[in-house]
Amino acid sequence: MIYREAGDFKTSYSADQQTFPIGFDRWTVRVVVIFAFLVVPFLINDYWEKSILLPFLIWSLAALGLNILTGYCGQLSLGTGGFMAVGAYACYKLTTMFPEVNILFVVLLAGVVTALVGILFGLPSLRIKGFYLAVATLAAQFFLVWLFNKVPWFYNYSASGQINMPEREVLGFIVSGANAEPWATYLFTLLFVLVFAVIARNLTRGRLGRSWMAIRDMDIAAEIIGVPPLQAKLSAFAISSFYIGLAGALFFGVYLGAVEPTEAFGIDKSFLVLFMIIIGGLGSIAGSFIGAAFMVLLPVLFKNIMVGDFGWPTDTVQHFIFMLVGGLIMFFLIVEPHGLAQLWRITKEKLRLWPFPH
Amino acid sequence: MDQAAASEDILLDLRNISLSFGGVKALIDISFDIRRGEVRAIIGPNGAGKSSMLNVINGFYHPQEGEVWFDGKLRGPMKPHQIARQGIARTFQNIALFRGMSTLDNLMTGRITHMHENMFWQAIWKGRAEKEELAHRERVEHIIDFLEIQSIRKTPVGKLPYGLQKRVELGRALAAESKLLLLDEPMAGMNLEEKEDMCRFVLDVHDQFGTTIALIEHDMGVVMDIADRVVVLDYGRKIGDGYPDEVRSNKDVIDAYLGVAHD
């Protein structure tokens, strides 16, 4: 009954094109953001940080990045893992070369480096489309991981071939390394995710977003009405890679602390992020978050119920979760091929009319 | 009208255009012009090269021979999106809307050649990007009013019926506020009422905005009624050019449409 547009009149075009046109949505989002910033840091513990909140936030950021490229611009990419590795290694190299630079800027710079690499691997997209482009980006995935394994300069000639994140501070609070408090790493990540989610929304609602979607929906018509394909595609690759680079830097720097490229940034990660945006909803900001929640949080939830409440053996539960999550993916794709975000949109339409649908 | 004044008046001048795909000659040595502010129809039987002609005009095809003069300047090698920026907009024979986007977004995309704020301002949104967006929204809303499509403003175009999709596509081309508007069979597949509506819109566009229009159409009644001058193509050659009445009585044109006995 509260979910209504009635009475919420839009009297200007700027009010008409706001992100959350329904009052109830606006308030929910405000409450959630305030809760996330002001309440969660006091409640958070190591388990919530490492198993739930950080992975959810970081994968959301990666999904957001891939959604810009695949969901909005229609360029299929399987290089996400490789680009995350670029972000991670850029973060590592920059922070070990310039230890005095604030980690905030290092993470942003890691994003910029990844954006440049993304543009480079995006160049084939000007010639090839669809599955063929996916294969070309697959080459990026394998090449980049191979590069970080083979060239010792990237891992500072360490004997193990791993990279380890040194301790870094923001405003005097440690946010990386073993001594970081859960609330500090959480807030640091949350800040990035929130700011860049807002930026993603702004970019996709304006000229740039429309030129991406025009290329996605009909590239020839887009070019004829004046969208420069080179600019549109490469900007999508750059911005998408920037987000994925940020996610990679946070994944390594704040979340894991030490990585080995083959394991942390393998092809399975590329598929994971792709599944997130397919299930969450292509071409939807909210869908990126929903998809990340689905793929990251659901297994944790099942595990807690089955191991914690039912007391089943861990390995059985592990396999059972694979089957269950796989089944759910298929279920939701059959129910709504356009993803959970679309399902949510339809639910909203129905809620507006409830309880008098006719 | 003397010769000098006439050339001032000409918006688009095509000189000796020849276009071929491998061995297939699509257009053979075609010349005609489009005057400012007129409705110019291009007609001809199927496969005559009408759509190829439009594709040459908006730069999607590059003719092997011939010159395109637009707005008094000879066109060099250019990409279609650059030509769109010079002021040529078009609609397509098979609807080429952006199906995943709403009507409003489709029209806003039509204004893309007029929007310039860079990525940085767009990321911040508040301020310059929003101001630009709202200014263009205002223009687009005029077109929405003009075409009477207020009620489908936020509907994804993929869900609209065919007639409305055609109208939205016209709107997208209008949003560009171009000097020359190319319409490729705007009334194909419509019933009589929809055709009449569309004719009204085309004429109103012409009257209200003074846009120069080149259109391809098969319905002879429509063409003869709304066109100022007509050019007729057949098998890639120009077989007629002039005012509707002249074309109607041209023997070659009648032969091309009705067929002649081969003996």
- Residues from chain A contacting residue B138 (CB–CB below 8 Å): 13
Contacts of A283 in chain B (CB under 8 A): 100
Q: Please report which confidence band the pLDDT of residue A2 belongs to, taking 50, 70 and 90 as the band edges.
A: low
List the single best residue of A217, A225, A284, A349 to mutate versus B (max B Cβ within 10 A).
A225
Minimal C-alpha gap between B256 and chain A (Å): 31
CA distance to partner chain B, nearest, from residue A349 (Å)? 13
Q: Could you tell me the pLDDT band of residue A251, with boundaries at 50, 70 and 90?
A: very high
Nearest chain B residue to A17, by CA: B134
Distance CA B14, CA A356 (A): 61
Tens-place pLDDT, residues A203-249: 999 999 999 999 999 999 999 999 999 999 999 999 999 999 999 99
Output the pLDDT for position A111.
97
Segment B81-110 shows an average pLDDT of 93
Band (pLDDT 50/70/90 cuts) for residue A317 is confident
Cβ-defined contact of B81 to A224 (cutoff 8 Å)? yes
Average pLDDT, chain B: 89
Distance CA B108, CA A341 (A): 24
The pLDDT, as a whole number, for residue A129 is: 86
B129 touches chain A (CB under 8 A): yes
Confidence of residue A178 (pLDDT cuts 50, 70, 90): confident
Report the 3 state secondary structure along B10-60: EEEEEEEEEEEECCEEEEEEEEEEEECCCEEEEECCCCCCHHHHHHHHCCC
For residue B262, what pLDDT is reported?
Answer: 60
pLDDT of amino acid A6: 67
Render pLDDT for A123-134 as a digit per residue (tens, 0 to 9): 988 888 888 999
Residue B64's closest CA among B24, B11, B12, B13? B24
Asked if B134's CB is within 8 angstroms of A13's CB, the reply is yes
**Average pLDDT of the residues in A292-296:** 93
Q: CB-side exposure of B261: number of CA atoms within 13 Å?
A: 1
| List of chain A residues whose C-beta atoms are within 8 Å of the C-beta of residue B113 | 225-226
Nearest CA in chain B to A14: B134
Q: In chain A, whose CA is at the least distance from the CA of B85? A: A226
Closest-CA residue in chain A for B81?
Answer: A226
H or E segment to which residue A208 belongs: helix A207-217
What are B165-199's pLDDT values in tens digits? 999 999 999 999 999 999 999 888 888 888 999 99
Confidence of residue A351 (pLDDT cuts 50, 70, 90): confident
Residue B5 has pLDDT above 60, yes or no: no
User: Given CB atoms, is B101 within the 8 Å cutoff of chain A?
Assistant: yes
Asked if B81 lies within 8 A of A13 by C-beta distance, the reply is no
pTM: 0.92
- Which of A184-193, A218-227, A302-311, B133-142 is the least confident region? A302-311
A7 in reach of chain B (CB within 8 A): no
For A41-72, write each residue's pLDDT tens digit: 999 988 888 989 999 999 999 999 999 999 99
Answer whether residue A346 shows pLDDT above 90. Answer: no
Strand order in the sheet with B73-74: B24-35, B10-21, B65-70, B73-74
Cβ-Cβ contacts under 8 Å, B134 against chain A: 13-14
Cβ separation of B98 and A13 shorter than 8 Å? Answer: no
Give me the pLDDT at residue B263, please: 58
How far apart CA A50 and CA A47 sit, in angstroms, is 5
Please judge whether B122 and A208 are an interchain contact, meaning their C-beta atoms are less than 8 angstroms apart: yes
pLDDT at A87: 97
Residues 247 through 286 of chain A touching chain B, CB cutoff 8 Å: 283
- Which of B85, B89, B112 comes nearest A207 by C-beta? B112
Is the minimum CB–CB distance between B89 and chain A shorter than 8 Å?
yes
Do B130 and A224 count as a contact with CB atoms less than 8 A apart?
no
A221·B134 Cβ contact <8 A: no
CB pairs under 8 A between A and B: 102
Give the integer Cα–Cα distance in Å for A337 and A200. Answer: 23
How far does CA B30 lie from the centroid of its chain? Answer: 18
Say yes or no: A221 contacts chain B, CB-CB below 8 A: yes
Residue A356 in this model has a pLDDT that exceeds 80: no
Of residues B184 and A354, more confidence is placed in B184
Query: Is residue A252 packed enough to be buried (19+ CB in 10 Å), middle (13-18) or exposed (0-12)?
Result: buried
Q: Does the CB of A203 have a partner CB in chain B at under 8 Å?
A: yes
pLDDT at A165: 92
Contact B130 A14 (CB under 8 A): yes
Question: Is 60 exceeded by the pLDDT of residue B33?
Answer: yes
Flag if B115 and A202 touch (Cβ within 8 Å).
Answer: no
User: What pLDDT is attached to residue A198?
Assistant: 95
| Contact: A225, B110; criterion CB under 8 Å | yes
Whether residue B2 is predicted with pLDDT greater than 50 in this model: the reply is no
Confidence of residue A179 (pLDDT cuts 50, 70, 90): confident
Asked if the C-beta of B181 comes within 8 angstroms of chain A's C-beta atoms, the answer is no
- Evaluated on CA atoms A335, A338, A341, A346, the torsion sign reads negative
Distance (Å) from the C-alpha of residue B219 to the closest C-alpha of chain A? 25
Which of A206, A225, A227 has its CB closest to that of B133? A206
A35 pLDDT exceeds 70?
A: yes
* Selected residue of B56, B90, B98, B121 to mutate for chain A interface (largest A Cβ count, 10 A): B98
B176: contact with A, CB 8 A cutoff: yes
CA distance B192 to A289: 49
* pLDDT at residue A1 tops 70: no
Question: In the numeric block, which tokens belong to residue A286?
Answer: 């909210």
For residue B1, name the pLDDT band (cuts at 50, 70, 90): very low
Q: Does the distance separating the beta carbons of A227 and B101 come in below 8 Å?
A: no
What percentage of chain A has pLDDT greater than the value 90? Answer: 63
According to DSSP H, which parts of B90-219 are helical?
Answer: 103-110, 119-124, 128-147, 162-175, 192-209
